[in-house]
């Protein structure tokens, strides 16, 4: 299963677009990429999931190139409330076996 690697921290300002990239060089055919957001003293919360190309929802976009060795979470026009830790997750369901490999998280600080 793919090992996921992401930057430890990032800084941004309100209103800017933030892109967080996750590297997963050994990604396999059955692996999906999911991103979660976590605030202090809370459990992670699902943001977006994709397999390839681009996925967009009401809060974020996820870009996965054709080789699928990386993925980029894009947060448009961040606000102070987007200050959180963002996790990249490679997951695989293979029959009854589940493999879930989480990145170590990217701590995003949004400044006024």
Partner 1 sequence: IAGITQAPTSQILAAGRRMTLRCTQDMRHNAMYWYRQDLGLGLRLIHYSNTAGTTGKGEVPDGYSVSRANTDDFPLTLASAVPSQTSVYFCASSDSGTGSYNEQFFGPGTRLTVL
CA gap 107, 8 in Å, rounded? 6
CA gap 14, 21 in Å, rounded? 19
Across the strands, what pairs with 27? Answer: none
Rule CB under 8 A: choose which of 57, 65, 80, 93 binds partner 1: 93
Interface segment toward partner 1; rule CB under 8 A; list 17-25, 39-47, 55-63, 71-79: 39-47
Question: Binding of partner 1 at residue 98 (CB under 8 A)?
Answer: yes
Rule CB under 8 A: choose which of 25, 28, 39, 46 binds partner 1: 46
Question: Binding of partner 1 at residue 29 (CB under 8 A)?
Answer: no
Question: Binding of partner 1 at residue 104 (CB under 8 A)?
Answer: yes
Residues 99, 91 contacting (CB under 8 angstroms): yes
CA gap 22, 37 in Å, rounded? 14
Taking residues 48 to 87 in sequence order and writing x for each that binds partner 1 by CB under 8 A, - otherwise, the string is -x-x-----------------------------------x
Tokens of 49: 């999931």
């Amino acid at each position: 299963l793919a090992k996921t690697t992401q930057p430890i921290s990032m800084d941004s300002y309100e209103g800017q677009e933030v892109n967080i990239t996750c590297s997963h060089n050994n990604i396999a055919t059955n692996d999906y990429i999911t991103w979660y957001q976590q605030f202090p003293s809370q459990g992670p919360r699902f943001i977006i999931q994709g397999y390839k190309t681009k996925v967009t929802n009401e809060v974020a976009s996820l870009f996965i190139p054709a080789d699928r060795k990386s993925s980029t979470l894009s947060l448009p026009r961040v606000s102070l409330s987007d200050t959180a830790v963002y996790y990249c997750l490679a997951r695989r369901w293979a029959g009854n076996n589940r493999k879930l490999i989480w990145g170590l998280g990217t701590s995003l600080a949004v400044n006024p």
